[in-house]
A and B are shown apart, each in its own frame.
Chain A
Amino acid sequence: MLSNISKNSIQPDAWHSLKAFTAARIALGKTGTAIPLKEILDFKLAFAHARDAVYSLLDTQQLSTELEIFNLPVYSLQSNADSRPIYLQRPDLGRQLNNESKNKLQDSSNEQFDIVIILADGLSAEAVNKNVFSILQLLMPALQQYAIAPIVMVQNARVAIGDEIGSILKAKLSLIFIGERPGLSSSDSLGAYLTFNPTIGLTDESRNCISNIRPEGLQYDLATEKILYLIQESMRLQLSGVRLKDNAGSIEN
């Protein structure tokens, strides 16, 4: 004898109230041993956003327009990883400028600078497209005492590409804004890495990092405050990295 096939096969969980304590995917309910479709689709959508972010492109046109108000030359460069699949498999290539970009930068200027600001796609160009202008609007007016180099946008780039850019431009300090690896809960999280005396071959312990910059994470004003503090301290102590402590507050990562 056939039993009636119900329109709703989901067995909900009795502990829905625990969801108030965590953003983890708890109390999902089940059908058989499976996660209900509604929850599956919710997960899939978050994953789709993360995947799209990994393959998003730096919107150099819009960024160039936005950056005009700072009255600085803006360069658009490329790393040695000339496609996204190569970028993902060869971090070494993402740390180097390609020849054309290198020449462009070398020909640009013989001046010396205090700070070079670099906008790099990293693992989420979307994070840069969405967040970087807002934070630069807060940051740039506070940097007037420094000689600021041309702003550099660079694609298929890893953090360490800032070392090459900084050394070519003879900048005392490089500040690179870069898209962080997207998670299911955030696909547009921006990181900022600060390196004193940028030189090819430096590693992570020579840098200071501020991560999770986005409206739902570390907000722009707080992030700006931390970056400014680190810049001042780095210039004063002539160093960056593990020996530069963020006494103004906590640094994530």
Chain B
Amino acid sequence: MCTFFLYFTEQINNIIYGNMSYRTSIRNKVYVFNDLKTLLAKASPLRSGDVLAGLAADSYEERVAAQIVLADVPLKNFLHETIIPYEEDEVTRLIIDEHDATSFLLISHLTVGELRDWLLSDTADTITLQKLAKGFTPEMIAAVSKLMRNQDLIAVAQKCGVVTRFRNTIGLKGRLSTRLQPNHPTDDMKGIAASMIDGLLYGSGDAVIGINPATDSPASAVSLLNMIDDLRIKYAIPTQSCVLCHVTTILQIIQQAPVDLVFQSIAGTEKTNKSFGINLSMLKEAHEAALSLQRGTIGNNIMYFETGQGSSLSANANYNVDQQTLEARAYAVARKFNPMLVNTVVGFIGPEYLFDGKQIIRAALEDHFCGKLLGLPMGVDICYTNHAEADQDDMDNLLTLLGVAGCNFIMGVPGADDIMLNYQSTSFHDALYLRKVLNKKPSPEFEAWLFKQNIMDEHGNQLPIQSSHLLLQ
């Protein structure tokens, strides 16, 4: 009788809610989540962008209810229940078509919650995690991140190892690299050069010397690329350069300019990428064109991608999926092209997506964790805008946390103040602080160059620079 009654209730529930619904009850309150994407959104730690999108949990209890349900979802479900239809979205197709079923076999019997517990266990070591990377889908990793505390995100990311090479090696254990970001509001060559020299003398620029141009014009990109390349060759700096213009602009000039890394902003839905003026085949074309230049000396990782939570909602292309899951989907796009660098520009988008220091810190740790588990060379632009509830203290906290988590690279902006993009990031000094307190070193090839130029000694201390120094001539 009792069994029959339960069976009957189950059937009624199925009729009312559909077979695929996810549910639990807490204190006699039944929580029903109609599909996986709703469950993921409701289980997400609070952030303003999900509230703006109308996707966030309505109460603290509902959020935990969703996390309790999510913990019991088998990983296999993520392969059968796509959160954006396969037919409508090329990013979904990429995720499903390139999923590595062989690596997945090792974890296919787990639920999301069991995966969280296993990731934190000692058997989940660097090599095992590297083997598993292609067996994970972005949605699985986004899901597990929602069940993890900041400490968990740091502990697991720290076990991942993602190493990339072009003219130097980025991402080795015990190393911390920086993108030198010498932006100028009018792309003034001397102004940019002055910031570059400043950065190099502070030991910055091993990940890339990367300029955000004030205008996306091919002519100006060519001049900027030539300028950095001349400097790089003159002083034999083992690093790579990039002008962060649109991929179509780079394709226009690739035969006449010294293009090292190819940059593009990417996102987790086809529609968002379309709003950026790109698709997968354009990225493929750019990737192949850059590879054909054969400018890398010790490796062929040549793409530089930037991402950030909230971009899809901002482009009205979020399919009612929470912003952190969509961010993880962008990493599927990135890993297709074996990038040198992937940078989540976490706090740039503003308080309507990540309201304060707490939300920015959480999002950065999630992005770094998800990217690393999916096998990407993650760096973070630790940053905020002046209308967010954040300040330098929040950035110090995040900087230190990401250093412990083993972040591949951070930004190096003069005095943390980007005078072109009008936001605050991390300074050359910040990177020196992090290297010092965590005993980290720059990329080995770049480190050797710093020794040779008498910029840094073998203990990692900055040496006094005289006005007669080679770089100041």
A contacts, CB < 8 Å to B: 11, 13-15, 18-19, 21-28, 30, 32-35, 39, 43-44, 46-47, 50-51, 53-54, 88-92, 123, 181-185
Contacts and interface: CB of A to CB of B under 8 A. Distances in A.
Contacts of B467: 14-15
Nearest to A123: B387
Contact of A181 (B52, B197, B386): B386
B195 A22 contact: yes
A173 to B, nearest CB: 26
A161 B190 CA distance: 41
7 contacts: A11-B464, A13-B201, A26-B195, A30-B429, A32-B436, A90-B352, A184-B422
Contacts of A21: 188, 190-191, 193-194
B149 interface: no
A183 B417 CA distance: 9
B182 A24 contact: yes
Contacts of A91: 52, 352
Interface in B374-428: 385-388, 391-392, 414-417, 419, 422-424, 427
Contacts of A15: 197-198, 201, 465, 467, 472
Contacts of A51: 386
Nearest to A55: B387
B355 A18 contact: no
A21 B467 CA distance: 17
B184 interface: yes
Q: Which of B48, B387, B432 has the most CB of A within 10 A?
A: B387
B45 interface: no
B422 A181 contact: yes
A218 to B, nearest CB: 12
A164 to B, nearest CB: 19
B302 to A, nearest CB: 28
Given A14-B465, A90-B52, 15 more contacts: A15-B201, A18-B197, A19-B194, A22-B192, A22-B195, A26-B198, A33-B433, A35-B429, A47-B391, A50-B386, A53-B386, A54-B387, A88-B351, A92-B52, A185-B419
A33 B436 contact: yes
B462 A43 contact: no
Contacts, number: 127
B186 to A, nearest CB: 10
B386 A182 contact: yes
Q: Which of A14, A47, A182, A183 has the most CB of B within 10 A?
A: A183
B25 interface: no
B274 interface: no
B454 to A, nearest CB: 12
Nearest to A50: B386
B101 interface: no
Interface residues of B, number: 47
A54 B386 contact: yes
Contacts of B182: 24
A19 B419 CA distance: 13
B215 to A, nearest CB: 9
Contacts of B51: 89
Interface in B28-46: none
A26 B419 CA distance: 11
A139 to B, nearest CB: 26
Contacts of B195: 22, 24, 26
A23 B419 CA distance: 7
B201 A25 contact: no
B292 interface: no
B352 A35 contact: no
B194 A184 contact: no
Given A14-B466, A15-B197, A51-B386, A24 B419 contact: yes
A180 to B, nearest CB: 9
A89 B198 contact: no
B131 interface: no
A26 B415 contact: yes
B9 to A, nearest CB: 40
Contact of A24 (B194, B436, B472): B194
B336 interface: no
Interface in B125-176: none
A89 B182 CA distance: 31
Given A33-B433, A88-B352, A184 B424 contact: yes
A183 B384 CA distance: 11
Q: Which of A18, A44, A90 has the most CB of B within 10 A?
A: A18
Given A90-B352, A181-B422, A26 B427 contact: no
B230 to A, nearest CB: 17
Given A13-B201, A14-B472, A33-B433, A24 B386 contact: no
Contact of A35 (B198, B427, B435): B427
A88 B190 CA distance: 37
Contact of B417 (A11, A123, A184): A184
B198 A27 contact: yes
Contacts of B436: 32-33
A15 B355 CA distance: 39
B352 A24 contact: no
B109 interface: no
B417 A25 contact: yes
Q: Which of B51, B419, B469 has the most CB of A within 10 A?
A: B419
Nearest to B388: A88
A35 B465 contact: no
A249 B466 CA distance: 45
Contact of B194 (A26, A35, A182, A183): A26
A185 B420 CA distance: 10
Contact of A184 (B386, B432, B433): B386
Contacts of B429: 28, 30, 33-35
A13 B462 CA distance: 12
